[in-house]
Structure formats: C-alpha cells, structure tokens
Amino acid sequence: MKKLFFVFMLSFFNQNVNAQLFSNEKLLNGANNDMKALSWGYFLGFNDYSYNFDYKEQTQGDNTDILVIGEAGFNVGLLGNLRINNYLDLRLEPGLSFTSRNFLFPGFDEVSDNLREVKATYIHIPLLLKVSTKRLNNIKPFIIGGFSTSFNLASNEENPEDNETGRFRTTASNYNYELGFGIDFYLYYFKFTPSIRGIFGMNDELVRDNNPNSGWTSNVEKMSSRGVFINFTIQ
C-alpha cells in the first residue's frame, strides 16, 4: 500500500507540474490568494514514527540494539499563515498526531519481556518558516523548516510502574526540529498543498526503570523521536 501511495503521488506531481510548466494556459487561479497578510486552512495526513537510540555500550558481535517497528498513523490539524513577502511565510500548524510503535528488546526469552507496545497521541505544535520559489503558472514549490513541541497525551511518565510490570515509560513533553518540502497547487476555489516533512527529536524521551541495572533501559544513553509527516493542506 505504501509503494502504491508513493507511486500515485509521484504520478500526480509529475502530471500537474508538466501541465503547469509546459502548457500554454496562462490563466491564474486565486491570483490574490498569496497577498493576504493572514490566511487559514486545515490539513490531513499520515505519519510514520520511530525512535533513534544512542547506547552507553555496544557489545561487539552481539545484537544488542532495540528494534522499533512503527505503524502508520494519521495527522489532523489547523494552519495559520503569516505572509512576510512574496517568498517567505511564517506558519503555525497545531494538530493531533496518532501513532503506535512496537519495541523488541534483545536478551529476553519470554515474549512478555521481549515486546512492548507504545501508543501515543501527540498535540503537535510546529512554528515553521516557508521559503517559496516564484509562482510558475498555478504551482509554487517550497521548502519548509522550523521547530516544534509535542505533548504526548498517552504518556505514562508519572506512572510508578515500569518495565518490570510491562510499562515502557516516555516523557510527556518533547522538542523537535523539522525540515521538508512541498508544492502549492492553485486550484479554482482553493490552494491544495501536498508536503513531506521529517521530524527530529532533540531531547531524551526515555523514562528509565527504577532498577538502575534494568535490562530494558540501563544501556540507553538517549532515545529521541524520528518521524515522517505526509500532509495534505487546503487553504
């Protein structure tokens, strides 16, 4: 399904870009859309979250890495856009992201010890700078980047139970930087924008077990989120 989705998206981009760049049609849709100082919209999309681990010790010849298997999640939210000039926009994109990850820990024989399922519901608030090219007929490519904070509503950071009783704990508040690109398509009634963005966690999100020698958390120096967002915005 993922391969079919990306093939479809690439085909859609290619057809629309070719049509706009090489067509003789010069009629501009929404010619004044980008002149508004403030504009609003909403987005829907998909996410694929994982974690990056740094370890205190790496045993040569043994598989000591924690394996993370992510599941596709989805995003929904609002968009507020502040126009700076023809090429720069500052935007706020508060939204909700739903995701789930499975952890496979080495060194345990029992499935109940080896596997942890971690579900998350994030309130995700990015502040982003959008840098656009000159408009080409009815399309405008751009790159985007900035910083975000996310609050995990499903966090069990304050739970006194830990992996000894099956609870894998993560922090509730996290900080990230984000980089991505997309294309604005100016349609007759609105602007449609597909985009893809990488999410890179900056803080350590692991809450360690009460036992300092825990087989689940003692060897982890840092655990931070990594994710990909594919969003579709209507503005």
Asked, for residue 31, whether it belongs to a domain, the answer is no
Determine, yes or no, domain membership for 10. Answer: no
- CATH code for the domain in which residue 208 is found: 2.40.160.20
The answer as to whether 13 is a domain residue is no
Whole-model pTM: value is: 0.81
The per-residue pLDDT for range 113-171, each reduced to its tens digit, is 888 888 899 999 999 999 999 999 999 999 999 999 999 998 888 888 888 888 889 99
Q: How confident is the model at residue 71 (pLDDT cuts 50, 70, 90)?
A: confident
Q: How far apart are CA 141 and CA 130, in angstroms?
A: 10
Residue 19 is assigned to a structural domain of this protein: no
16, part of any domain: no
pLDDT category at 29 given cuts 50, 70, 90 is confident
Please tell me the predicted confidence (pLDDT) of residue 47. Answer: 96
Rounded to an integer, the average pLDDT of 26-49 is 88
Between CA 159 and CA 55, with CA 110 as vertex, the angle to 5 degrees is 65
Rg (CA), the chain: 21
* Rounded Cα distance, 178 and 75, in Å: 15
Residue 212 placed within a domain: yes
Q: Is residue 115 part of a domain?
A: yes
Q: What is the pLDDT of residue 60?
A: 54
What is the reported pLDDT for 38? 94
Q: What is the mean pLDDT of residues 79-92?
A: 95
Q: What domain range is 143 assigned to? A: 38-234
Structural domain contains residue 194: yes
Structurally, the chain folds into a number of domains equal to: 1
Q: What is the pLDDT of residues 186-221, one digit of tens each?
A: 998 899 999 999 999 999 999 999 998 888 988 899
pLDDT surpasses 90 at 13: no
3-class DSSP string for the chain = CHHHHHHHHHHHHHHHHHHHHHCCCCCCCCCCHHHCCEEEEEEEEEEEEEEEEEECCCCCCCCCCCEEEEEEEEEEEEEEEEECCCCEEEEECCEEEEEEEEEECCCCCCHHHHEEEEEEEEEEEEEEEEEECCCECCEEEEEEEEEEEEEECCCCCCCCCCHHHCCCEECCEEEEEEEEEEEEEECCCCEEEEEEEEEEECCCCEECCCCCCCCCCCCEEEEEEEEEEEEEEEC
